[in-house]
Amino acid sequence: MNEPAANEFTVAVVAATGHTGRFVIADLLRRGITPIAIARNAASLEAADFDERVIRRHATVEDTGSLDRALEGARAVINAAGPYFATAEAVASAALRARIHYTDFSAEQEAVANLFEKFNKPAREAGLLFLPALAFFGGLSDLMVTALMEGWDAADSVETYIGFDRWHPTKGSRNTIDGNYVGDLVFTGGCLTKASSPPAQKPWVFADPVGDQVVLELPLCETILITRHVKTAEHHNYLTQVAIQDVTNPSTPFPKAVDELGRSAQNFVVDVVVSRGNERRRAFTRGRDAYAVSAVLTGEVIDRLLRRQFIKVGVRAPGEVFPAAELLKTLGPEYATFKVLTTS
């Protein structure tokens, strides 16, 4: 069967048949972008109920040749195959060989730091933009912090609070948590250091509908992204206890669609707080289904990449490249709403 023709608005999606990958495919189509759906399981790829505009290709990250062939004709690749310790370097290397832009959804500190260390120079020399953790975990908080830092050249502390009322994880998320791949580094005293054990915990009041919660310090990729370009002495990341209990409970079900967009019933509120001396700024982003929002955020950035609406290259945090507040506003009101609460 002949596949649809690739064009200048063609983007490859690795792990396209997975939960997040399907959100990505739908969002790209909504934007008029031709997706190349890549999956390691040929049967699931063939059985996927994709639109006729979707190009389907079978490849594995272990088979360099198959991956290179699958990326032919793409202008960018979105890596949705977690855990990323096993896939990010392979897919990023393929992107470099193909001379195309790269993004992923990694929440893992080591995988994100590895891309910064190994790919920044070659991507910069090739004129490419690599954006690890362009997702709900990582990129969203980075953009929020960047927006709040406007007019400040430094902060004394940055805190990010991820509030879920529940977390029914995908298989990839569960494998990442179960394998302890997320990381254990906090940023304190101006440098990365091991987080305390047991993790610090405290009460936190999120906006509705998440509300009053107990949060635990859980180092994720936010620490790596934010401290790459935001000058701060401290960064700490927290997650609601109920979410940690859900994701570590083997009986917690996979996410189930409850609306026409395929989103689950999960509500989230992400709070960020930046402080400098006696000044304190706070903002939140509120929405439904972290996986769906990841796809929309990435789709907006990919659209800008294809239209060459960027000036920096190399491996970057999204806040380094794009106007943060403007980009956040593109998520709403259907998917997420960004609001500044305090500018004192």
**pLDDT, tens only, 126-180:** 999 999 999 999 999 999 999 999 999 999 999 999 999 999 999 889 888 877 7
215 & 280 share domain: yes
Which residues lie closer than 8 Å to 28 by C-beta, 6 or more apart? 11, 13, 34, 35, 299, 302
Q: Check pLDDT > 90 for residue 197.
A: no
- What is the rounded average pLDDT of the residues 213-236? 97
Q: Are 29 and 35 in contact (CB under 8 A)?
A: yes
pLDDT at 344 over 80: no
Q: What is the pTM of this model?
A: 0.96
Mean predicted confidence (pLDDT) in 19-34: 97
The residue type at 223: T
Would you state the pLDDT for residue 172?
A: 86
70 and 80 fall within a common domain: yes
Asked if 154 and 275 sit in the same domain, the reply is yes
Same domain for 217 and 116, yes or no, is no
Residues in the chain: 344
Looking at residue 182, what is its pLDDT? Answer: 86
Mean pLDDT of all residues in 48-60? 95
Mean pLDDT of 5-31: 95
Rounded Cα–Cα distance for residues 4 and 40 (Å)? 20
Q: State which residues form the domain around 151.
A: 137-290+324-343
Contact of 268 with 297, CB cutoff 8 Å? no
pLDDT for 343 equals 63
Q: What is the pLDDT of residue 59?
A: 97
Say if residue 99 is in the same domain as residue 23. Answer: yes
Q: What is the mean pLDDT of residues 204-208?
A: 97
* pLDDT above 70 as % of the chain: 99
The reply to whether 15 falls in a domain is: yes
Q: Is 41 inside any structural domain? A: yes
Percent of residues in the chain assigned helix, strand, coil, to nearest 5: 35, 25, 40
In a domain, 2, yes or no: no
pLDDT, tens digit, 9 for 90 and up, residues 71-104: 999 999 999 999 999 999 999 999 999 999 999 9
The average pLDDT across 244-266 equals 95
